[in-house]
Amino acid sequence: MIRFDGAGKRHPDGTVAVEGLDLDVPTGRTTVLVGPSGCGKTTLLRMVNRMIEPTSGRVLLDGTDVAALDPAKLRRGIGYVIQQAGLFPHRRVIDNVATVPYLLGWDRKKARARAAELLDLVGLAPETARRYPFQLSGGQQQRVGVARALAADPPVLLMDEPFSAVDPVVRAGLQEELLRLQSELHKTVLFVTHDIEEAVRLGDQVVVLRERGRIAQLADPHTLLTAPADADVAAFLGRDRGLRGLGLRPAATVAVRPIPVAPGGGRANGTARFGGWELVLDDERRPIGWIDRDAAGAALQPAPGFRPEADTLRAALDAAVLSPAGVAVALDADGRATGTADREAVLTALAARPSPAGATGGPDAAGFDGFAGVSEASEASEAAAAAAAEKDGAAGGR
Does position 43 interact with ligand ATP (CB under 6 A)? The reply is yes
What separation, in Å, do the N-terminal and C-terminal C-alpha atoms of the chain show?
Answer: 24
Q: Give the helix/strand (H/E) hosting 113.
A: helix 108-121
Query: What is the footprint of ligand ATP within residues 339-378 (CB under 6 A)?
Result: 374-376
Rounded to whole angstroms, the Cα distance separating 93 from 12 reads: 39
**33-57 burial: b if 16+ Cβ within 10 Å, else e:** bbbeeebbbbbbbbbbbbbbbbbeb
Does position 19 interact with ligand ATP (CB under 6 A)? The reply is no
Rounded to whole angstroms, the Cα distance separating 98 from 73 reads: 16
Q: Which is nearer to ligand ATP, 160 or 342 (CB)?
A: 160
Rounded to whole angstroms, the Cα distance separating 332 from 339 reads: 9
Does position 135 interact with ligand ATP (CB under 6 A)? The reply is no
Count of residues engaged in binding ligand ATP, rule: CB under 6 A: 16
Q: Which is nearer to ligand ATP, 171 or 307 (CB)?
A: 171
Q: Which is nearer to ligand ATP, 122 or 208 (CB)?
A: 208
Q: Which is nearer to ligand ATP, 46 or 241 (CB)?
A: 46
Query: Which of 2, 3, 31, 42 touches ligand ATP by CB under 6 A?
Result: 42
Question: Which of 365, 363, 338 lies closest to 251 in space, CA to CA?
Answer: 338
**70-79 burial: b if 16+ Cβ within 10 Å, else e:** ebbebbbbbb
Closest distance between ligand ATP and the C-beta of residue 197, in Å? Answer: 16
Q: Which is nearer to ligand ATP, 39 or 328 (CB)?
A: 39
Q: Enumerate residues 6+ apart whose C-beta is below 8 A from 43.
A: 9, 17, 18, 52, 213, 374
Binding mask 188-227 for ligand ATP (x = CB under 6 A): ------x---------------------------------
Closest distance between ligand ATP and the C-beta of residue 11, in Å? Answer: 3
Footprint of ligand ATP on this chain (CB under 6 A)?
Answer: 11, 13, 15, 17, 37-43, 194, 374-376, 398
